[in-house]
Amino acid sequence: MNLPKLILASGSPRRSEILNFVGWEFEKQVADVDETEFPGEKPADYVKRLAIKKAAAVAGSFGNNFVLGADTIVVIDGEIIGKPVDLDDAGKMIRKLSGRWHEVLTGVAVIRNSNTAVEVQETRVKFKKLDDNEIEFLVNQGEPLDKAGAYAVQAQAALFIEEIEGDYWNVVGLPVNLVYRLVRENL
C-alpha cells in the first residue's frame, strides 16, 4: 500500500511525530493564520474553520498534493480552553479539568487541487481528581505551554487520565485514521 505524500500545514511537533509513527511521508509547511475566535462561534465550527484556513494558506503552492491542515482544542462546559499563556494559566486550566470529563476536538482539512474535505473528530477525556501536588507536577514537569488544555496525554498526564472515549491519537494531536479516510476518499 502506498500512502500519497502529504504537505503538513502545521508546525506541531506532535502531528509530525504521529505521521512519522505510521510511516506517512510528508513535508512540513507551517501556515501562518489568525486563530482568533469569532464571537459566538461554536467549538466545532472554530476548529473546522482553522483547519481549512491552515491548509488553504499553503495549498496554492502544492496543486496536486494532499495538503493537511488541523487544529486541536480542549472544550469544557462549552468553553474553548486554548494553550496557556504562562505556568499560572496552565495550573488554572489543569485545576478546571481535574476530576471532570472534557472534549478534545480536532478539525482536519485535506485540500487537493480545488477539492476540500473537512471533518471534526471528538474524543472525551476524564482526569481523576487531582490534588495540589499532582497539579504542580503537571505544571512543572508536563511542558504545558504549547498544548491545548495544558497537558499531553502521551506524557505525564497519562498518570492521571481515568478514561478516554474515542480516538486516542486525536488527544495527542492528530486523528490519523480520519486523515487516512479523507485522503482515501479523495484520491
pLDDT at 76 > cutoff 80? yes
pLDDT at 187 > cutoff 80? no
Share of the chain above pLDDT 90, in %: 89
- Mean pLDDT across the chain: 95
The question of whether 167 is a catalytic residue gets the answer no
- What backbone torsions phi and psi does residue 97 show, to the nearest 5 degrees? -80, -20
Beta 161-165 vs 79-81: how paired, if at all?
unpaired
Find the helix or strand (DSSP H, E) in which 45 lies.
helix 43-59
The model carries a pTM of 0.94
Residues 78-82 have a mean pLDDT of: 91
Strand-pair partners of 107? 71, 120
The residue type of 161 is I
- Hey, which bits of the chain come out as E strands? 6-8, 26-28, 66-76, 79-81, 101-112, 115-127, 161-165
**Of 11-15, 97-101, 108-112, 157-161, minimum mean pLDDT range:** 11-15
Share of the chain above pLDDT 70, in %: 100
pLDDT at 130 > cutoff 90? yes
Distance CA 157, CA 47 (A): 23
Q: What topology is assigned to 6-185 in CATH?
A: Maf protein (3.90.950)
Instruction: Please give the span between the terminal C-alpha atoms of the chain, in angstroms, as a whole number.
Output: 13
Strand-pair partners of 109? 69, 118
Task: Give the model confidence (pLDDT) of 10-55 as tens digits.
Answer: 989 999 999 999 999 999 999 889 999 999 999 999 999 999 999 9
Is the Cβ–Cβ distance between 76 and 97 less than 8 Å?
A: yes
Q: Which of 32, 34, 45, 71 is catalytic?
A: 71
Is the Cβ–Cβ distance between 130 and 99 less than 8 Å?
A: yes
pLDDT at 63 > cutoff 90? no
pLDDT at 158 > cutoff 80? yes
Residues 92-104 have a mean pLDDT of: 97
Distance CA 143, CA 117 (A): 33
